[in-house]
Structure 1
Amino acid sequence: MKASTITGIRTLRVPERANILWVEIETAEGLVGLGESFRGAAAVEGQIHELVAPSLLGQDSRNIERIHRHLMTPYVGFGASSAEMRAASAVDIALWDLMGQRLGVPVHEALGGLSRDRIRAYNTCAGYDYNSARDRRDIRAGEGAIGPYDDQVAFMQRADELAHSLLEEGFTAMKIWPFDVHAPASGGQVMTLEDLKKGMEPFEKIRRAVGDRMEVMAELHSLFSLPAATRICQALAPIRPFWVEDPIGKMDDTAALVELRRAVPGMPICASETLGGKVAFRELLVAGATDVVMVDLTWCGGLTEARKIAALAEAWARPVAPHDCTGPVTLVASLHFALHAATAIFQEVVRATLASWYRDLVTVLPRVEQGFCHPMQGPGLGTQLQPDTRRRAAIRESRS
């Protein structure tokens, strides 16, 4: 048996972060690679132990491309960010962690080295518990903050103060989603003038408070019809957002995106954390449907697929921006990718989670200073699960 042979696969979950699943891959040489998945943790766990593990155990962990190709082409579930895709992503990240550990270098060096020494960060203005449980947290009038970085409450109620707070910490870009609370009334089909005015208020407060010192991204979370998204984008035009992200549901509808771009010329579109696999991104690029390519490494196919998507984006002269509003291992892997990919322009962070539960789960987090993320140090990803995380986790194993 080769030292790099895969001998065990382990998944771990903690109840208070129900959306997160960690994957650990063991080799005969005694190394352990760490990966992460997000959303539908139980489904991904089942996929890993029932379908992935039987094909993975006994394989040489160095053959990342071979394993990746196999996991990315299942008989079903190969499209979008399915449970199959999310499982493949987690495994791929763990294999790259192993590769870096084996070579004694950080993952970004194993990928081919740095394209930059640091990368600009933007703060996604979520709160402490946004997205990590089974249900997303939406903020309405009157809800109070639960801590100094409860930025979702802040952008809904005092966006001007929030913008000043971020500037004081060195952030010069932020993302907010004040239109989301108005989508359920019509299922996202209609954006009334009254709701449009309410949704615009945070953007207008930010511009009045800090002017052009702050870039603002508008997140629409794939909640809106083409007419509703068009109306929102037209209203946002004077604010000059850096991008409007995922404006329609769903983001593989390239025809609707092209129509939106025709209706609101010059409005930068960002797409999409929700897509999986390079083919979906190729279709966006061929259609001219996006200005910025966003990838989530735990949904798109991992580091291996993200590199291919970034190469496609570069061929179409589009920048890339990795997503993180999920888990700490995703952020770490994304930063390795963002520092390596030639056309990456931002790394998304959530200062609330960096200051709280992310640090409770893993041993090392990225260094974020004055609005920039700096490279991780040490071999592989450069982080591991905290001992207490492991003690609290429900563990399921597959072994050869």
Structure 2
Amino acid sequence: MKIASLEAIPLRIPFTAGGRSDAAVWGKADLQTADSLIVKVTTDTGVVGWGESFGFTAIPAVKVVIDSILAPEMIGRDAALIEKLMLDQQKKFHVFGRSGAFLFGLSAIDIALWDIAGRAAGQPVHQLLGGSDAVSLAAYASLIRYSDLELVRKNVRRALDSGFQHLKLHEIDFDCICAAREEAGDDVEIMLDVNCPWSVREALDMTARLRPLRPRWIEEPVWPPENYAALGGPAAMVEWRYFDLEAQLYGDAIIPKNGTMAVPQAPGLGLEPNADVIREYRLR
């Protein structure tokens, strides 16, 4: 089963987030659209797999890398040899870095190839990877950065009213984090993702201030992000970016309900992108 074609499809979908967002790593202040890049891999037997790339404002760069470099390398290769294919590409292009557009593009293709493997085998991908009897997973509402006390309170309440019992903030202001804890109460888990604003000393000082608020974890606390010696390793949940997209690429299949996300049980990834959403929101 060979890779016959590989298409990178950029999407831009409007969203609302319960108020004006602050500028952060995902883009400028008051951002009102979410960019994403999905990848369609088709085999010579007609099996189609779908993947999606991380990227935010780097989506145009990821698309260029896929279209001009990665796709030509992969067309004609055996779609079943996923591990070898990914390792070959990482070794060949490692001089361009171990993160950024190349790895984002490879990740999307990797997901699509696993989707193909699952569809070809007639099994969900999670069964191919060892199996699980889980039918749902806990999800946390990942709020954007507001840098505004009242907007933080409002959107914490909105997430709790939607059924979430785990929240992640992107706030870096201590008073905003306190406001979130006050609104959420003592029984709701709160995590922080601050996107590397502090030195190790600053992070230690802030951690001491935050300890009474009992954050489950503090994500990306230090600059540079590769300072692994300063970091720990928390247990994982599923992140759900908490804003209201104008359209859902996968319908309601992966929208959390009461703070949990259903585990797809159909073959492959168990999801099929909505062709109408792709057609309407595709960037030309």
TM-score range, shorter chain: 0.7 to 0.9
Q: Is the 8 A contact 1:363 1:384 kept in 2?
A: no
- Structure 2 CA distance for aligned equivalents of residues 382 and 87 of structure 1: 21
Q: Does 1:23 align with 2:39?
A: yes
- Distance verdict in 2 for CA 1:28–1:389, change over 3 Å: same
TM-aligned CA deviation for residue 14 of structure 1: 3.1
Q: 1:100 corresponds to which residue?
A: 118
Q: Does 1:38 align with 2:28?
A: no
Q: Does 1:170 align with 2:177?
A: no
TM-aligned CA deviation for residue 63 of structure 1: 1.1
Q: Does 1:375 align with 2:263?
A: yes
- Distance verdict in 2 for CA 1:162–1:32, change over 3 Å: same
Fraction of identical pairs, as percent: 28
TM-aligned CA deviation for residue 25 of structure 1: 0.7
Q: Which amino acid aligns with 1:42?
A: P
- Structure 2 CA distance for aligned equivalents of residues 379 and 370 of structure 1: 25
Q: 1:200 corresponds to which residue?
A: 174
Structure with more helix by fraction: 1
TM-aligned CA deviation for residue 358 of structure 1: 5.1
Q: Is the 8 A contact 1:6 1:25 kept in 2?
A: yes
Q: 1:11 corresponds to which residue?
A: 8
Q: 2:212 corresponds to which residue?
A: 238
- Structure 2 CA distance for aligned equivalents of residues 368 and 65 of structure 1: 31
Q: Which amino acid aligns with 1:368?
A: P
Q: Is the 8 A contact 1:172 1:371 kept in 2?
A: yes
Name the SS for the 1:212 alignment partner. Answer: coil
- Distance verdict in 2 for CA 1:175–1:357, change over 3 Å: same
TM-aligned CA deviation for residue 364 of structure 1: 5.0
- Structure 2 CA distance for aligned equivalents of residues 364 and 383 of structure 1: 10
Map Cα deviations across residues 361-385 of structure 1 (whole Å, 9 max, x no partner). Answer: 3345315222121211322122223
The correspondence for 2:195, drawn from 205, 221, 235, is 221
Map Cα deviations across residues 276-318 of structure 1 (whole Å, 9 max, x no partner). Answer: xxxxxxxxxxxxx3132xxxxxxxxxxxxxxxxxxxxxxxxxx
Aligned residues: 262
Higher mean C-alpha deviation, range 211-220 or range 15-24? 15-24
- Distance verdict in 2 for CA 1:113–1:57, change over 3 Å: same
Q: Which amino acid aligns with 1:10?
A: E
Q: Does 1:60 align with 2:78?
A: yes
- Distance verdict in 2 for CA 1:210–1:5, change over 3 Å: closer
The correspondence for 1:122, drawn from 135, 140, 150, is 140
Q: 2:241 corresponds to which residue?
A: 350
Name the SS for the 2:91 alignment partner. Answer: coil
- Structure 2 CA distance for aligned equivalents of residues 163 and 18 of structure 1: 21
The correspondence for 2:224, drawn from 239, 250, 274, is 250
TM-aligned CA deviation for residue 99 of structure 1: 0.9
TM-aligned CA deviation for residue 42 of structure 1: 2.1
Q: Is the 8 A contact 1:19 1:38 kept in 2?
A: no
- Distance verdict in 2 for CA 1:122–1:218, change over 3 Å: same
Q: Is the 8 A contact 1:163 1:214 kept in 2?
A: no
The correspondence for 1:139, drawn from 146, 149, 154, is 146
Any unmatched runs of 5+ in structure 1? 127-137, 142-155, 180-198, 258-288, 293-318, 322-345, 396-400
Q: 2:103 corresponds to which residue?
A: 85
- Distance verdict in 2 for CA 1:367–1:21, change over 3 Å: closer
- Distance verdict in 2 for CA 1:44–1:77, change over 3 Å: farther
Q: Which amino acid aligns with 1:200?
A: F
Q: Which amino acid aligns with 1:227?
A: R
TM-aligned CA deviation for residue 160 of structure 1: 4.4
Q: 2:25 corresponds to which residue?
A: none
Any unmatched runs of 5+ in structure 2? 14-32
- Structure 2 CA distance for aligned equivalents of residues 210 and 76 of structure 1: 44
- Structure 2 CA distance for aligned equivalents of residues 252 and 206 of structure 1: 29
Q: Which amino acid aligns with 2:163?
A: G
Q: 2:253 corresponds to which residue?
A: 365
Q: Is the 8 A contact 2:12 2:36 kept in 1?
A: no
Name the SS for the 2:232 alignment partner. Answer: coil
- Structure 2 CA distance for aligned equivalents of residues 158 and 211 of structure 1: 17
- Distance verdict in 2 for CA 1:11–1:216, change over 3 Å: same
TM-aligned CA deviation for residue 11 of structure 1: 1.3
Map Cα deviations across residues 110-133 of structure 1 (whole Å, 9 max, x no partner). Answer: 22211633221111112xxxxxxx
Q: Which amino acid aligns with 1:291?
A: G
Q: Is the 8 A contact 1:68 1:88 kept in 2?
A: yes
Name the SS for the 1:166 alignment partner. Answer: helix
TM-aligned CA deviation for residue 38 of structure 1: 2.6
- Structure 1 CA distance for aligned equivalents of residues 3 and 136 of structure 2: 34
